[in-house]
Amino acid sequence: MQEGVDKNAFILRYMLERKGKWICGEELAAILGITRVALHKRIKRLRELGVRIESVERKGYMLEEEPDLLIPEVVKAYLNGNVVGKVVYVFPIIDSTNRYAMEIAGKGESEGTVVIADQQTSGKGRMGRRWYSPGGKNLYFSVVLKPKIPPIFLYHTTMLASICVCQALKEINLDAQIKWPNDVYVSGKKICGVLTEVEVRGGAVDFVVLGVGVNVNMEVQQLPDDLKDIATSVFIEAGKRTNRVKLLGRILSLMDEWYAKLQRGDTADLFRYWREHNYTLGKRVVVDGKLYAEAVGVTPTGELILRLNDGETIGLSTGDVKVLS
């Protein structure tokens, strides 16, 4: 086993991969390079954290159910990547995962670090808006990345985050679409928002923090009145509760895959997926409540291309865009 691997997370991942099967304790201890006694202590610790593991003499151990616990060991068990999720911080409550991630990234925190909270008291949205962040329901997390791209192409990281959420939601049979510049929609309502913050030094990108909020298990009556007509959740759309930590693991694993492409300079697939699953393109929109146009494309730097009523096309770099039809 590689040095530095979280052994408790490895145990959980090993059991998840063999769900419903008995696992020989002697075999697992040998893989981990520890004694049976040490393995038993780790199993006991996981049980204390809330993971349901059955044990029977001469049969071994078996995971009773997929854990949905917002703790580092469980989050890491669902991950399958090389960069994203190497370091995981989980807070029961925090003001803002983005604020904390920006702070630690500025102090040299490693690339791929993920900051997660069960609840935020000052969740941040785009254009200074507040992100509604109740506890025990949704996903709020921020990822520290250090992309090798010029600042002019920073929008590619926002695209990446939106794509990962969109793809993960499609895999659980939701018809998710990406709305320019940073949201994911289902059934014409917002289910996810992305906030990208960056530190540029000497004209180069030092680090990027991708903040993501996904509405997972909120019911309609739990939405504030001002959001009921414009927001939705996985629960509202699917009609059932979703394992939010498993969903988080899938989003982060996809982020690792797409980020590797971005680092290689392979943006063709990024733009292809973004365009194929886009909610904004090809529709009439209004910008800031006054500029009416048709959204027809996106530039390599992320500007939304608009065709005005007189046929002229312009690029929009920022603004509040509402889709009309």
Q: Name the E strands within the chain.
A: 53-56, 60-63, 88-91, 114-117, 139-145, 176-179, 183-186, 189-201, 204-214, 284-287, 291-298, 304-308, 313-316, 321-323
Q: Is the dihedral of CA 224, 225, 227, 231 positive or negative?
A: positive
**Which pLDDT score is estimated for 133?**
80
Whether pLDDT at 313 is above 60? yes
119 C-beta neighbours (distance < 10 Å), count: 16
Counting residues of the chain whose pLDDT is more than 90, the rounded percentage is 87
Whether pLDDT at 1 is above 60? no
Whether pLDDT at 7 is above 70? yes
The per-residue pLDDT for range 67-77, each reduced to its tens digit, is: 999 999 999 99
**Longest C-alpha distance within the chain, in Å?**
78
Q: At what angle do helices 268-276 and 244-263 cross, to 10 degrees?
A: 130
Overall CATH class of domain 7-63: mainly alpha
At the topology level of CATH, where does 72-276 sit?
Answer: BirA Bifunctional Protein; domain 2 (3.30.930)
Entry pTM: 0.94
**Which pLDDT score is estimated for 89?**
98
Which sequence spans correspond to the domains of the chain? 7-63, 72-276, 284-323
- Grade residue 135 by pLDDT with cuts at 50, 70 and 90: confident
Which CATH number is associated with domain 284-323? 2.30.30.100
The per-residue pLDDT for range 38-97, each reduced to its tens digit, is: 999 999 999 999 999 999 988 999 999 999 999 999 999 999 989 999 999 999 999 999
